[in-house]
A and B are shown apart, each in its own frame.
Chain A
Amino acid sequence: MIRFFAWLAWLTLAVNGHAGAQSAPASPATPIAQVLVMLHLPAPHYRPNSGYAGAYTDTAGQQARRREASSIAHQYGLKVVNSWPMPALGVDCFVMQLTPSQVLTDVVRRISGDSRVDWAQAVQTFQAMSLGDPLYATQPAATRWHLRQLHRETTGRGIRIAIVDSGVDIHHPDLQDQILDWRNFVDSRALVAEAHGTEVAGIIAARAGNGIGISGVAPDAKLLALRACWQDPDRKTACNSFTLAKAMQFAVDARVQIINLSLAGPPDRLLSRFVDVALNDNIAVVAATDPKLPGGGFPASHIGVVAVNDRHSHGAALTGSRDSGHVELTAPGRDIPTTIPGNGWNFVSGSSFAAANVSGLIALVRQLAPKARMGNMAAWVVHPGGNPGLGGTIDVCATLRMHSPASSCFHPLDQAMRGSW
C-alpha cells in the first residue's frame, strides 16, 4: 500500500511539473489585452459510476467546458491561454487573448451576449499601494498600538490570514514557521521572494521574541502566502483580475479568517463576487486605499471591506457611517519597519502597510472574539476629532474591549494615543 501511494506521489510530482508549465499565464505583464470568459460550473451532484462526485474530480465536465471555451474562442477570433475552475462562484474561468486588431470593450460586449457564457469581463490590472520610499527613520508604527501590552492577552493565535500579494520570502528568519502554506498563481515557479509580499507578511506576523528584527502585529497568527502579484523590473508590484481571482478562490476554500489585499485598482466584477463570498463566510477582507482612484479604488470601495488609508494619503474622499457598511480606517502606514527578501529589514511606507497593520489587529480581535464581524464601522471604535475624509484613527483598546468585554486593555494607553498622529 505504501509503495503504491509512493508511486502515485511520484507520478503527481511529475505531472505537476508538466501541468504547472502549461497553466502559467502567458505573461502576467503582457500588454496584449485579455478577456475573462465565465462558463457555468454546475453545482456538485451525484453521478452513477463516479469514484467521487465532487467539483475537484469531474474530469469529463471540465473537458466539456474546455470544448465549449474553444468553440467560443474560435467564433470570436480569440485564443484560450488559461483556465481555472472557481467553484466558490459557480463558474469555470477561461482567459482568452485578443489579437492586436481587436477592441477589448467590443469583444467583451459581444461575448457577454452569448448564451453559452455566464458573463465576461476584461482582465484588469491592480497596483500594490506602496510608496517605495523607505527613508523615514521615525517611530515604528506598531509601537503606537502598544503591541507589547496587547500581546499579553492576544497574539492572533489560531487565526489564519491569507496574504494575496507578491511572493513572500518564506525562508526569512523573522517569518520562520509563520507561513502555513504558499501558492504561486502567477507562474510555474515554486518559490518567489519579492519585496511587497514579504513586507506585508512581516508587518502582520513576524515572529516575536526571537531576538531579531521586528514583531508582527499578530505574531502567533499563521499566514497563507498567495502569490497573485508580481514585481516588475522597476520594482513596482502589479496583479490582474485572473491571478487575484485564483488566489481568492484558494483563500475562500482554505477557510481563512482574514484576507489581506494591499492593492487597489478599478471595479472588477469577478473579484467583487469573490469578496462577497468571503464576507458571507465572515472572512474579514482588508484592502488598501488609493487616493487617486474614486472611492479609494477597488476593493477598498466595496461594501463590507475594511478600507485602510495612512495619514499621508491626501485626497482620499472616503465617506463612511456606522450604518453604511463602508468601513474606512486610518492606521500606521508610514516608516514601518518590516521584513524584506534576503534576510533583511527596512522601513516602508504606503497604505499597503496600513492595511497590513489592520489585518494584524483584526487577528488580535478575532482570537478573543472569533465571530466578530469587522466589515462595518460599528465594529470599530475610532478616536474622536479625526480628520474628516481620512477615516477614523482606531482606538485599539476600546475596539478590543467592545468585542471582548473581559479584555484587560486599559484607558491610559488610549489617552496617550489620542491625537498623536
Chain B
Amino acid sequence: MVTPIHVRQISSTLCGLAFAVGAQAQLAANVSLASENNFRGNSLSDNNPVAAFSLNADSDSGWFAGAVATWARFDRYRYARSSPQWLADVGYARDTGLGWSWEVGATGSWFTNTSSYNYHEAFAGITVNRWNVRFFYSPAYYGQRFKSVYGELNYARPLTDNLHLLAHLGWQRANLDGADASTSTLDTRLGLGIQVGRVGIQASWVATNRESYLYPVDSGSYHNRFVLRLDYAL
C-alpha cells in the first residue's frame, strides 16, 4: 500500500520535474518485464520475475526527470518481506558538441512497506562516443549508516541496425559512519540488446565478485546469473 508520505514525495518530485523540463518535454512511457529486479549485481526481487512501469521526460534545454514503479523482495529477517519500490530522478544533461556529453542529477528510492531502506543518491557522469562513466554518492545507502560511492563504466556498441552489445563494470565502496570498516564490491554485466519498433529485449550475464552486506537481500541473491528483460514503449 502506498502511504500518503510516499505519494507526496513522488508527486512533488514529478511536479518539480514537470516544471523543470518545461512545456517542450518529450514524454516517454515504458513497461518492462524482467527475470529479476537486478541492481548493481544484486537481485532485489529474491530472484523472482518483476514488472516495472517507467515515465520519463526530457526537455530540449537538457533537463530530465523520471519515475519508476516496481517491486522488491527482501530477505527472511526483515520486518517486511516485500514492498512496492518507487524510484525518481531529476537531472541535467548536455551535449558539448565536441563529441562528448555530461550529466548531473539526483535519484531517490522509496519502499512503501518499509521506509527504513529509503535512500537518495547524487550522480555525475560523462559520455564519450560509446563509453559512459558515472559516479554516485549516497550519505546513507539503503537507509543505513553507510556512505556509499558507486562508480560505473558502461559501453554500448551497435552490431547491426537493431542489435547492440552492452557491457558494464561497477565498483562500490561503502564506509560505516565513524568506523574503519569498509567494503568494496565489483559487479559486471555483458549482454546483447535487440530493438525493434516499440519492443526492446536485453539478455545479460551478470556477475559480482562477492556478497555485499549493503543490500537487504538473501545471500543467494548475488550469484552470477542471466537476466532477461523485455521492454515495451507506450
The residues of A with any CB-CB pair to B shorter than 8 Å are 1, 4-5, 8, 11-12, 15-16, 18-20, 23, 39-40, 42-65, 68, 88, 90, 115-116, 118, 253, 255, 277, 280-281
Contact = CB atoms under 8 A, between A and B. Distances in A.
Given A46-B107, A115-B24, A63 B123 contact: no
Contact of B26 (A19, A40, A46, A88): A40
A404 B93 CA distance: 41
Nearest to B104: A45
Given A54-B156, A281-B99, A46 B134 contact: yes
Given A8-B203, A40-B60, A46 B103 contact: yes
B66 A48 contact: yes
A116 B24 contact: yes
Contacts of A59: 30, 195, 198-200, 231-233
B125 A15 contact: no
A47 B89 CA distance: 7
A1 B205 contact: yes
B127 A16 contact: no
A56 B156 contact: yes
A-B pairs, top 10 by smallest CB distance, nearest first, are: A63-B233, A60-B30, A60-B28, A45-B93, A43-B101, A64-B28, A42-B58, A59-B200, A48-B87, A43-B93
Given A12-B162, A52-B168, A59-B233, A44 B195 contact: no
Contacts of A15: 162, 194, 196
Interface of B: 24, 26-30, 32, 52, 54, 56, 58, 60, 62, 64, 66, 68, 70, 87-89, 91, 93-95, 97-99, 101-103, 105, 107, 109, 123, 125, 127, 129-130, 132, 134, 154, 156, 158, 160-164, 166, 168, 191-205, 226, 229, 231-234
A47 B99 contact: no
Residue picked from A47, A62, A255, most chain B C-beta under 10 Å: A47
Nearest to B70: A49
B205 A52 contact: no
Contacts, number: 170
A56 B26 contact: no
A280 B99 contact: yes
Contact of B195 (A1, A57, A118): A57
Contacts of B200: 57, 59
Contacts of B27: 64
Nearest to A88: B99
A92 to B, nearest CB: 10
Nearest to B27: A64
A102 B197 CA distance: 30
A335 B153 CA distance: 52
Contacts of B56: 47, 60-61
Contacts of A116: 24
B158 A56 contact: yes
Given A45-B91, A47-B54, A57-B200, A64 B26 contact: yes
Contacts of A47: 54, 56, 66, 89
B162 A52 contact: no
Contacts of A44: 93, 101, 103, 127, 132
Given A43-B103, A280-B98, A61 B192 contact: no
Nearest to A64: B28
